[in-house]
Structure 1
Amino acid sequence: MSVFSLALNELRGTILRPAPLFLSIFIPFMLALVVFSIGVSLKEDIPIIEVAIVDEDQTFETKALVKQLSNEEDIQEVLQLTTVDEAEARTMFASGDTPAIIHIPADFTSSLRAGENTPLRVITNQHTPLQANMVELLLSSGSQYISASQSAVNTVYDLYLKDIPVNQRKERLQQTIITYTLFALNRNKAFDTEMVPSGTNSGWAIHLCVSVSITMLFICGLILQWLQASFLSTAMKHRLRAFHVTELQLYIAKSFKWLVVCSVCSLIASYSTFFFDVNSDVSIQQSLLFIMVGIFIASFLSCMEGVVQQPHIRSCMLLVIGFVAMGAGGVWIPSIYLPSYVETVWNPFAASYLLMENVLMNEPLSTQVIAPLIIVSLLLWMFGLLGAVRRERQQSYVPFFTSSKMEN
């Protein structure tokens, strides 16, 4: 029996036995639906964090700054800034009504006019670490805006105000300059909504799309190989032996099956990007690159088929290796949140993530990402091929390796 006939039989068996294929698609889809539902419910249940502001300066500039930050749409979604006195702020902090206090010192405006950097003091509550960290994250983004305003004031002070005698520095002039730098900078916006302040360089929508695509492809292949392994019994292997079907031929036939199945699933994932509202047009280049990721997953599955013979052990190894590699490759959690040493290790899942991310963002593709992924896919397939050959030599049943000795 030829390898081509075996490959067609593998594909026909996959189609004629639709239960494993259906379950391999249905189970990941249900898992993704459950995770999405949990995420939506958690997003709806997140309360707005109330932050107390103690303004001891009480000048026009500080009031304008507080009003500017309070009216910022990005801050209003998660924070409510309330101006209170010191005693009331301490009471709210002690009772747990606020996770943080922003303290504006009395000399903030005067130091700002003199070109000095006076930091705002932020007190966070350790009993509410999640809310406190959220406040610190948003204020760190807001501090960039304040630092830019401070730099503008320093420039005006060094180039203009510094040379004017003290008695000629009109209060109105200084107030106008500071007000202009606070409000006109970035067109009265403290945050640039076109840039991602934290998390991932591509935006959360594209990250979610790529993460779901890679995870679904891998889990579909994992479940399908586990379910189909039960159909190939020992009796069936003996029947294949009777027709002189070697382990090498079986490995090539199964590799072809994984190649076709993963390529079709990758093509479906490419067109499924419409549901994430990240791409309005699916190009041929996008489909080919998604198929390239599917080929890598197919080579990974084929490699484990050739190296590990026991189905349950193979499934466990696929599960552990795949999930660890995806976690370390930034597929689920953006690499910005991972330890720095993780980025120094090359990861094929990280390359797959970067490949999908670039094509969805319409960015130029680098051969430094594509070439290693192709090479690793070939190496994985060849490693599985060597495993099949080694297993065939150990069994020494088919005349594939013994015919030359018998002829001598």
Structure 2
Amino acid sequence: MKSVLKKWKTLILLFAIPLILMGGMAFIAAKAFTDRERLEPFQAAIVDQDRTFQTEYVIKQLTDSEEITAIVKPVITDEKRARTLLKENKIAGMVILPKDFSQTILSGENVPLTVTGNEKKPLQAYLFRQVMESAADYTSAAQSGINTVYDVMSEAGLSPEDRKTEYKRDLLNFSLHALGRNEVFEMTEENSLFLQNVFHYYGVSIFVLLLMVWAYQILLFMRGQLTPGIRTRLLLYRMDGWKIHLAEWAAAVVFLLPLLAGGLYAFKEADIWGGEEIAKTAGGMILLLALFTALFASLSALLRSDRLFQVVSALLISAGSVMGGHFIPAFYLPSWLEAWQAWILNTHVLDAAFSIIAGEQADLGRLSALLIALLVLMCAGAAISQKREGA
């Protein structure tokens, strides 16, 4: 507390500068993901290699549908031209209707459609794939209904001519119901935290990253206050090294609690958090804060060099901010990074923070176990370092 009173201006700068910088970066990033820009219609190619009445009818229904064209602008072309457009990043994806596609449907054979997405437009490619999967699901449902009716007619002993006539009628009726499903089924809208409000996403995301940066800064500040003279006196009073680091960790958590409370109050005022289950929400966020402070406290115990401690901490913060989804949502990151995201602490902490703020069930048991493991690592590292210094 003496150090805080003596260097309060330094502490204000340490906490204010990251807040200003990250707030500005979050504002810029949020502008890049506004609702209008994310939902702006994009082009996708449809390649009809069958060229039958049935495929032309299906394509016409797709191109005439207001619900679909509000998102996807179909481009009817051949495969060579479609691949060229995909390579030139002019379309979000392409789908190929293969030869004999209509005949295979009539015979009950399942032939998959080839849907190719544009990796440079991950969100649009994902939406296009969902549209195609939806169409395939409803087509499969229609096909199952037609086959069921046909089997019933066969068991009833209807003549081949009557079965053929009824089959064609059912094919048309079931297909029209599938294509006109918005008139048959009730449409509901489910929004995730990010899709519902991009500013909510960045509000939570940047605050979690700020907790991580503040945890590092307060541990770095405490590390500078514990001079060799003070450490020697503590050791003379039989204050073991692991107790010193454990006390630093606990003091850092307590010191950052007012900032955590301020963040929750800001969430409530900005309608990001409704204020429900205050104790549960506060407890979950305190756990996340304790986890970040334990991370840097363990590094402080393991690394005696100040420069090495700062370098390693900076690398962890940089990797966490990029791959953890703080500025660029994990949805937009390249697929090859998915394997690494599981090893980034920020990925799990950010997911837990979203669940806590949204009032959903968060996997806090695993994070609690990780917190205990970090504290054990911190105490072990401090004990080893003290033994080496004594030797």
Structure 2, unaligned runs of 5 or more: 154-158
How many pairs does the alignment contain?
A: 369
Which shows bigger deviation, 269-278 or 293-302? Answer: 269-278
1:40 lines up with 2:31 in the alignment: yes
Task: State the shift of 1:378 in Å.
Answer: 3.0
Q: How well do the aligned residues superpose, as a CA RMSD in angstroms?
A: 4.6
Deviation per CA, 1:228-278: give whole Å up to 9, x if none. 656x49xx6447757967784764553343121233333333334347754
Q: Aligned letter for 2:135?
A: I
TM-score by length of 1: 0.69
Distance change (3 Å), C-alpha of 1:315 and 1:273: same
Q: Which residue of 2 aligns with 1:273?
A: 267
AA of the residue aligned to 2:25: V
* Whole-angstrom distance in 2 between the partners of 1:91 and 1:357: 39
Deviation at 1:343, TM superposition (A): 7.6
CA distance in 2, matches of 1:212, 1:94: 35
Matches within 5 A, 1:204-243: 208-226=202-220, 232=225, 237-238=228-229
What is the DSSP-based 3-state SS (H/G/I as helix, E as strand, rest coil) of the residue aligned with 1:51?
strand
**Residue 156 of structure 2 corresponds to which residue in structure 1?**
none
CA distance in 1, matches of 2:246, 2:77: 75
Residues 10, 202 of structure 1: CA spacing in aligned structure 2 closer, same or farther, 3 A cutoff?
A: farther
| Equivalent of residue 306 in structure 1, options 301, 306, 321 | 301
Structural mapping, 1:310-349, within 5 Å: 310-324=305-319, 334=330, 337=335, 342=340, 349=346
What is the match of residue 130 of structure 1? 120
Q: TM-score, normalised by structure 2?
A: 0.72
- Farther-moved stretch of structure 1 (17-26 vs 385-394): 385-394
> C-alpha displacement at 1:118, in angstroms?
4.4
Distance in 2 separating the partners of 1:298 and 1:120? 51
Match of 1:117 in 2: 110
Cα displacement (A) at 1:30: 1.5
Instruction: State the one-letter code of the partner of 1:140.
Output: R
| Pairing of 1:8-407 with structure 2 (within 5 A) | 8-13=1-6, 16-41=7-32, 48-53=41-46, 56-58=51-53, 59-68=56-65, 71-72=67-68, 76-77=70-71, 79-82=72-75, 84=76, 93=85, 98-99=90-91, 100-104=93-97, 108-109=101-102, 111-121=104-114, 130-131=120-121, 136-164=125-153, 165-168=159-162, 169-170=165-166, 171-184=168-181, 187=184, 193-194=189-190, 208-226=202-220, 232=225, 237-238=228-229, 248=241, 251=245, 254-274=248-268, 277-282=271-276, 283-324=278-319, 334=330, 337=335, 342=340, 349-365=346-362, 368-383=365-380, 385-386=382-383, 389-390=386-387, 393=390
Cα distance in 1 between the residues matched to 2:365 and 2:98: 52
Structure 1 residue 290: Cα displacement: 0.4
Q: Please report how far the alpha carbon of residue 22 of structure 1 lies from its aligned counterpart in structure 2 after TM superposition.
A: 3.1
Mapped to 2, the partners of 1:9 and 1:97 lie a distance apart of 60
Conserved in 2, the CA contact under 8 Å of 1:351 and 1:369?
no
- Rounded Cα–Cα distance in structure 1 between residues aligned with 2:290 and 2:330: 24
Identical columns (%): 11
Cα offset, 1:153, TM superposition: 1.6
Shift of 1:385: 4.0
